[in-house]
Amino acid sequence: MSKAASMFHPKRLDLSGFVNTRVIRDHNKRNAFAQMEPERQALRYIIRNTSLPQRTRAQAQLQLSQMHCYTRPTQVKNRCVASGTARSVFRDFRLNRFQFRMQALAGELPGVKKASW
Amino acid sequence: MFSGTTRSLVGASKRLWTPISIRSLSTPNQPSAPSTKTSTTAPQIKAEPTPTSATSPTSAASTPVKESAAPEKAPVKEWLVEPWRSLTTLLTVLVLMILLQYSRSDRLADLEKNARLPRSVQALYLRPLRRKAEHGLPVCDLQLRSYSAENLEFFADFAIRAAYYLKLPVSGPVPLPRITQRWTVIRSNFVHKKSKENFERITLRRLIQIKDGHPEAVQAWLAFLRKHAFYGVGMKANVWEHESLDAGKALDASLPEIQKTVGPHLAQFGQREDNKRPGTIFDALDNARHAEPKNL
């Protein structure tokens, strides 16, 4: 299997909102993972199944390790949809902390208010 | 909780009377507007009928008399203020005004005496009606969620009224515990870690329970609520259906129909055409490629 990440690039940019090289890369990783997940799971199953012959399991191990790194779930990282930042992104809003604050103060996030207690 | 909404609605009902009377009383004044446009007495004339309408909307009989008296004063003052305007035109305008006013005020009086709001509309200003549950068997739990109490209360009220007209006994709205989510974020976009800001989002919840209603009526109710979903109010329903004791027989009877519906799905199962090989899976496992060396 070729190691080029370009195999996962879409022909046309299928993203909207804030777009960035890193955002596109993460998007490609997500697509690659989604596409190859059944195969990964099948190989994982073969590796863990002790009733299968050792040779098959070893081959499966090899195949799994040779799969492209983009197909790994650990490659996926949540990114802010408004700024593309990868740090301190709230899962609830898919926003970076600073973007969250700006939008909350602007009243763009329904129900979010300044709290004081 | 609930009295709050009813109180506000009652207030609305009181207010409802004034727009009707103001509109109907102000329309006769509209023809007078061009004649009194330049005069200084215009605000006085317009100001007179409104307090009477606000204080006594029902005593419509007294108002036309006052109104007819008011324009009589007006031309005199206008005559003094604007001497260049001819008397004849003024008089014709006056007569027209009086005629118009009489006819309209009569109509208004008739309306206020004879007409009333339809009962279903009138019921909106009262507490929602409810059916009595015969057995008290819960059939459907509807949970409403919102960030704003007003929308939530309004829609809960709407749902209860809709349930009444579908003859569904309903209990609620039960205020469920609020869900408070809090976030503390650094104020700046970079460094200054000690300066922070708190945000919160409080989700309000209401539970409406339908008791011993027909499943179809419950579905109709839910569909109606979905059709008229209110902005900013989310809905979640748990529906329970109850079967008679001989449910097994009914299941057996419905089996052929179910098999028919499942057929196309089951046809999808099986081996792929391009993956077919002679022999069973055990043959494949026993061949040399998969054979495990025994002395390992």
For A92-106, write each residue's pLDDT tens digit.
999 999 999 999 999
Half-sphere exposure of A105 (CA within 13 A, CB side): 9
CA distances from B177 to A64, A116, B134, B171 (A): 48, 19, 29, 17
Is residue A110 within 8 Å of residue A92, measured between CB atoms?
A: no
Is the pLDDT at B183 greater than 70? The verdict is yes
Q: CA of A87 to nearest chain B CA: how many angstroms apart?
A: 11
Contacts of A54 in chain B (CB under 8 A): 292, 296
CA distances from B228 to A41, A64, B162 (A): 44, 52, 11
Contact B290 A110 (CB under 8 A): no
Q: What does the pLDDT read at residue B13?
A: 39
> How far is Cα B218 from Cα B139, in angstroms, rounded to an integer?
8
CB atoms within 10 A of CB B21: 21
Supply the DSSP symbol for B172: E
More confident of the two residues B51 and B212 = B212
B286 touches chain A (CB under 8 A): no
Selecting from B147, B186, B200 the residue whose C-beta is nearest the C-beta of A97 gives: B186
B232 touches chain A (CB under 8 A): yes
Is the pLDDT at B143 greater than 70? The verdict is yes
Contacts of A55 in chain B (CB under 8 A): 289-290, 292
> How far is Cα A89 from Cα A76, in angstroms, rounded to an integer?
13
B179 touches chain A (CB under 8 A): no
pTM strictly above 0.95: no
Is residue B91 within 8 Å of residue B98, measured between CB atoms?
A: no
* Cα nearest neighbour of A105 on chain B: B199
Half-sphere exposure of B135 (CA within 13 A, CB side): 7
Is the pLDDT at A29 greater than 50? The verdict is yes
A101 touches chain B (CB under 8 A): yes
Q: What is the CA radius of gyration of chain B?
A: 37
Residue from B71, B49, B65 nearest B106 by CA = B65
Q: CA of A76 to nearest chain B CA: how many angstroms apart?
A: 24
pLDDT band at B292 (very low <50, low <70, confident <90, very high): low
Contact B200 A115 (CB under 8 A): yes
Residue range B268-286, pLDDT digits in tens: 777 666 666 666 667 777 7
ipTM confidence score: 0.84
Is the pLDDT at B7 greater than 50? The verdict is no
Q: Phi, psi (5° rounding) for residue A48?
A: -85, -15
Interval A23-27 mean pLDDT: 94
A94 touches chain B (CB under 8 A): no
